[in-house]
């Protein structure tokens, strides 16, 4: 009988450790706190491309496009709700925004697609002749040019931008169906931002597939980076840093184009990473600036390690349910019509801001429950040699027994989608070290850190889309 109780206690210990690693339950609902009021006195007044939350809550800046005369401008808000908070003045009044400091020539906005924030500073990926990243300060009731800016020395047009807490700036170039987008990585603390205003990127990442990268985000210290490819429905995860560079993380796999109608699909657009809780948010909609699919737009909350969809903010459904089933109407202060969700931003209180391009609004979303916290277990895989294996195999982990880390080696005979998963002895999934990532022929190794698990026997299983191989390993603490 005593052995039975010991077994139960050990099982409970293991299950509790699983819950620590895989606590991914969304137990509440998303609702709007408010929606800015279209083309009225508190609205953005024109097509709203992007939104960035600044310090505090109910404080944000919107990037607006007036297509009739190709003007682009910033609209600032403080202490906002559905009917108040909008700045007056030059930038908030709909005049073409520009950057000008001292005696330097003015740089006017030219087809900027996204903005990002760092505290009370706003960074704009502009498409003037030098493709400048322009910096602005958000003051009490106005937006003012900062002395910082940087010509990217890049011949390609820019699209997405993100700035993390360390001041690292990530900006994507506009690829297409025959050209891969790039991610240019800068440090806004470098002196070139304040004088000279030109520098080569600290790092340049070329995406593995052709297509347009319309979203980029990183965690607070820049060791995790996510980039969306709207054209093929993929999101890529990278690990690394601004000094040593970045490499793809094969544990993460988001690869989907959602059906909209017979002619159109929706892909991943804007991205935002919620630090602390470690949740990746992605806006998913049909092609910006081209298709008006008001019945589809939404946001997904993703597992940052695997790309699994954990929760959905269905913006279009919310709008229709508050507008008597109509997708092309507004419900004052509660719901925006004309859903076209391209951009996401998160404030320091974990509220989510989105925009409606065709609805001319910004929406603040609040969550009724407690957002889950997900342990970061994202991994990197190393190719061990250039020998060509003859069989799809996985070796016994080493060391074994281990505490707390062990290495798993495997061989791939031809290009295939590889999944490497860790299970409890009873078959419960703990984590995926590799989640359907494509691997070429070769020999590889991956490290598994089990520091959050209890002692016991575990199973690791590898699949190449055709065959599955499983082995046991033992953790002894």
Whole-angstrom distance, CA of residue 373 vs CA of residue 450: 18
Return the pLDDT at 262: 75
Buried b (16+ CB within 10 A) or exposed e, 55-74: eebbbbbbbbbeeeeebbbb
DSSP bridge pairs for 446: 381, 408
Query: 33-87 pLDDT, tens per residue?
Result: 999 987 788 888 889 999 999 999 999 999 999 877 788 999 999 999 999 999 9
| Positive or negative torsion for Cα 318, 252, 211, 220 | positive
Q: Which residues contact 231 (CB under 8 A, 6 or more apart)?
A: 175, 176, 177, 210, 211, 212, 267
- Segments of the chain assigned to CATH 2.120.10.30: 30-367
Q: Please, which residues bridge with residue 172 across strands?
A: 183
- E strands, 297-439, where? 298-302, 309-313, 344-346, 352-356, 361-367, 381-385, 393-394, 405-412, 416-424, 429-439
133 by DSSP, 3-state: which? strand
Gap between the Cα atoms of 408 and 462, Å rounded: 10
> What local confidence, expressed as pLDDT, does residue 89 receive?
59
- pLDDT tens-digit map of 246-256: 988 888 889 99
C-alpha 407: how far from chain center: 29
pLDDT, position 12: 35
Contact 315, 8 (CB under 8 A): no
Q: What is the pLDDT of residue 15?
A: 38
Quote the CA–CA distance of 425 and 228 in Å, as a whole number. Answer: 36
Closest CA to 417 of 436, 395, 391: 436
What pLDDT sits at residue 25? 83
453 and 459 Cβ atoms separated by less than 8 Å = no
What pLDDT score does 185 carry? 97
CATH number of the 10-23+376-475 domain: 2.60.40.1930
The string of pLDDT tens digits covering residues 337-360 is: 899 999 999 999 999 999 999 999
Nearest to 456, CA basis, from 444, 442, 470, 473: 473
Give the integer Cα–Cα distance in Å for 138 and 135.
Answer: 10
Query: What are the tens digits of pLDDT across the range 148-187?
Result: 999 998 788 999 999 999 999 999 999 999 999 999 999 9
H or E element at residue 426? none
Strand intervals (E) in 230-315: 234-241, 245-248, 254-255, 258-259, 265-274, 279-285, 298-302, 309-313
Just give the CATH number of 30-367: 2.120.10.30
Strand order across the 442-449 sheet: 381-385, 442-449, 405-412, 393-394
Q: Are 256 and 298 in contact (CB under 8 A)?
A: no
Tell me, what's the pLDDT at 424? 95
Asked whether 74 and 115 are in contact (CB, 8 A), the reply is yes
Please list the pLDDT of the chain residue by residue as tens digits (477 residues).
Answer: 444 333 333 333 333 344 334 446 899 999 999 999 877 888 888 899 999 999 999 999 999 998 777 889 999 999 999 999 999 854 444 568 899 999 889 999 999 999 999 999 999 999 999 999 999 999 999 999 999 999 998 788 999 999 999 999 999 999 999 999 999 999 999 999 999 999 999 999 999 999 999 999 999 999 999 999 999 999 999 998 999 899 888 888 899 999 888 778 999 999 999 999 999 999 999 977 666 789 999 999 999 998 999 999 999 999 999 999 999 888 889 999 899 999 999 999 999 999 999 999 999 999 999 999 998 888 778 888 888 999 999 999 999 999 999 999 999 999 899 999 999 999 999 888 888 888 889 999 998 989 889 999 999 999 999 999 999 999 999
Q: What is the location of CATH 2.60.40.1930 in the chain?
A: 10-23+376-475
- Which residues pair with residue 107 across a beta bridge? 99
Q: What is the DSSP letter of 454?
A: P
């Amino acid at each position: 009988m005593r052995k039975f109780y010991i077994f139960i206690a050990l099982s409970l210990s293991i299950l509790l450790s699983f819950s620590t690693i895989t606590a991914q339950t969304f137990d509440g609902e998303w609702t709007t706190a408010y929606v800015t009021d279209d083309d009225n006195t508190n609205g953005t007044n024109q097509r709203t491309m992007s939104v960035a939350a600044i310090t505090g809550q109910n404080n944000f800046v919107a990037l607006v496009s007036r297509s009739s005369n190709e003007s682009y401008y910033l609209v600032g808000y403080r202490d906002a709700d559905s009917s108040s908070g909008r700045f007056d003045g030059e930038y908030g009044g709909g005049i073409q925004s520009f950057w000008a400091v001292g005696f330097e020539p003015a740089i006017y906005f030219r087809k900027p697609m996204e903005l990002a924030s760092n505290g009370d500073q706003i960074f704009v990926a502009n498409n003037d002749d030098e493709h400048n990243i322009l910096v602005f300060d958000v003051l009490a009731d106005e937006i003012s040019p900062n002395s910082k800016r940087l010509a990217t020395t890049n011949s390609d047009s820019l699209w997405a931008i993100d700035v993390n807490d360390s001041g690292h700036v990530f900006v994507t170039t506009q690829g297409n169906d025959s050209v891969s987008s790039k991610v240019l990585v800068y440090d806004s603390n470098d002196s070139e931002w304040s004088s000279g205003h030109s520098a080569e990127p600290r790092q340049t990442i070329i995406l593995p597939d052709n297509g347009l990268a319309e979203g980029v985000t990183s965690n607070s210290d820049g060791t995790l980076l996510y980039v969306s490819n709207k054209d093929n429905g993929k999101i890529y995860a990278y690990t690394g840093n601004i000094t040593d560079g970045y490499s793809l993380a094969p544990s993460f796999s988001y690869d989907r184009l959602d059906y909209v109608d017979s002619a159109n699909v929706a892909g991943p657009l804007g991205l935002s990473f919620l630090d602390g809780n470690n949740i990746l948010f992605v806006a998913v909609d049909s092609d910006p600036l081209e298709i008006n699919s008001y019945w589809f737009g939404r946001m997904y909350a993703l597992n940052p390690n695997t790309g699994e969809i954990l929760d959905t903010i269905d913006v279009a459904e919310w709008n229709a349910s508050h507008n008597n089933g109509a997708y092309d109407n507004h419900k004052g202060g509660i719901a925006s019509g004309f859903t076209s969700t391209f951009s996401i931003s998160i404030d320091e209180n974990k509220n989510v801001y989105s925009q409606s391009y065709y609805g001319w609004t910004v929406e603040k979303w609040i969550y009724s429950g407690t957002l889950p916290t997900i342990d970061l277990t994202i991994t990197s895989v190393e190719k061990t040699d250039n020998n060509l294996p003859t069989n799809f195999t996985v070796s016994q982990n080493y060391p074994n027994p281990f505490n707390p880390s062990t290495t798993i080696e495997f061989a791939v005979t031809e290009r295939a989608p590889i999944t490497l998963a860790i299970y409890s002895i009873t078959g419960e999934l703990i984590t995926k070290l590799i989640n359907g990532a494509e691997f070429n022929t070769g020999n590889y190794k991956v490290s598994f850190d089990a520091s959050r698990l209890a002692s016991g026997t575990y199973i690791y299983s590898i699949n190449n889309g055709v065959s599955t191989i499983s082995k046991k390993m033992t953790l002894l603490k």
